Structure 1
Amino acid sequence: MWPNKSTAWGNKSTAHGFTLIEVLVAMAIFASLSVAAYQVLYQVQQSNQVSAQREARLSELQRAMVIMDADFRQMALRPFRHEGESASAQLVQWQDYLLDSDTKGLLFTRLGWHNPQQQFPRGEVLKVGYRIKEQVLERVWWRYPDTPTGQEPIIAPLLNDVEAWSVRFYLNGQWSNQWETQQVLPQAIAIGLTLKDYGEIERIYLLTGGSVGETNDSSS
């Protein structure tokens, strides 16, 4: 029997490809999936970037605290000369615009700068200062506690985004925001920092205290 022509032509007509509407729908679905995948990838990248920034910021803060701990815990009971002037009666200076600070600056001497077997032409006492410049906490220091006029310090930025800072001094059971006592070290010192991201942070350091006269009497 010969095949029915109408049946053959009918089979041919049913074997067709995708219609334009089906192609457009498929493209729309693919585009939506691509956008969703990109958004997920972008969010992951942003999250990783934020995490890296926070980790770097925390490392910066921890490093600054380590350096400050070493300085303040070893504050020296020693007068010092600055800019060729006579020895200061204040062992710790906390003044407006000291060290060219935008606010207040802090200046003192500290022990513990290791000089094994006196190999270098210096002692183990150095002069250290702290200041704020354009919201950056900077450590300013000299290799010698007594410096002539014009001797430039070594400046090391420690911490960014410092909106404000404060120093309080403890002596004989009382805290004070000023330090004008002469020839005496405070018994404790509190350093307060207001950071743009972490808010207010305060560190309290116990010091040796004492006065220069007591040191001279005990040595004689």
Structure 2
Amino acid sequence: MNREAERGFTLVEMMLAIVIFSLLSLTAMMIFKGVLRNSEITQRKSTQMVQLQRVLTLIERDFTHALTRTPAGLAGQPGIPEFMARGAEEGDGGYRVTMIRNYWHNPGARLPRSTLERVEYRFQKGRLDRLSSPALNSPPSAARSVALLSDVLRFQLRFYYQGEWLAAWHASTWLPQAVEITVETGSFGVVRRIVPLSPEEKS
């Protein structure tokens, strides 16, 4: 009888097999975690991109429906322009644009309000908010604020009128011909859109 043929695994061989199996399992686990992490990053980026596109579409729709109105003052005082944008150099380090827009959805006219909406976009400290007033004559404290984006490095608007791009807009009786929207985020860098407006539309 061949005793060498009947010899089983030695302790060293078994330990070596266990070590190799453990290394293979660890490698497989690391690969799985890497794939899972990449999938989560991709999903998060996709969600952020969808949110950014929604915000840009919302801003574009508001500008497209913007109106010019003659500001009504009180006691002989001039009114506040209904379409106005100012940058950091004019205020508190942020950026604000205010407008009156038409076609505020009111299904069946069931809500006790008009289809005109006062909207303000406010960018400050890396966050972009949209404020909406329940009525045109509501005080600023009544405006409802919704946070749109929180990873914003820069939010900037430029206004095209008669061959020039302007950094601010204060005209109350006419609209610019187009608005350039620039949003810079840490995730996607700089994104720009140009929105044509209808300067002749008035309320």
TM range (shorter): 0.7 to 0.9
CA distance in 1, matches of 2:92, 2:107: 34
**Which consecutive residues of structure 1, in runs of 5 or more, have no partner in the other structure?**
1-9, 216-220
CA distance in 2, matches of 1:177, 1:13: 90
Larger CA deviation: 175-184 vs 32-41: 175-184
The 8 Å contact of residues 107 and 129 in structure 1, kept in 2 or not, is answered as yes
Q: Per-residue displacement from partner, 1:173-220 (whole Å, max 9, x unpaired)?
A: 2111122334221111111111112111111111111386xx7xxxxx
Residue identity matched to 2:79: A
For the aligned residue pairs, the C-alpha RMSD in angstroms reads 2.7
Q: Per-residue displacement from partner, 1:52-77 (whole Å, max 9, x unpaired)?
A: 11111112112212211221110112
In the alignment, what sits opposite 1:183? 173
CA distance in 1, matches of 2:27, 2:201: 70
The 8 Å contact of residues 84 and 99 in structure 2, kept in 1 or not, is answered as yes
Per chain length, whose mean CA-contact separation is higher, i.e. which structure has more relative contact order (CA < 8 Å, sep 6+)? 2
Residue identity matched to 1:119: R
CA distance in 2, matches of 1:68, 1:21: 70
Which of residues 67, 79, 100 is equivalent to 2:58?
Answer: 67
Question: What displacement does 1:156 show?
Answer: 1.0
**CA separation of 1:144 and 1:190: change in aligned 2, threshold 3 A:** same
In the alignment, what sits opposite 1:192? 182
**Secondary structure in 2 matching 1:151:** helix
**Rg larger in structure:** 1
Question: What displacement does 1:81 show?
Answer: 6.9
**CA separation of 1:139 and 1:30: change in aligned 2, threshold 3 A:** same
The 8 Å contact of residues 87 and 168 in structure 2, kept in 1 or not, is answered as no
TM-score (norm 2): 0.85
State the number of aligned residues.
199
Question: What displacement does 1:164 show?
Answer: 0.9
The 8 Å contact of residues 130 and 146 in structure 2, kept in 1 or not, is answered as yes
TM-score (norm 1): 0.79
The 8 Å contact of residues 91 and 184 in structure 1, kept in 2 or not, is answered as no
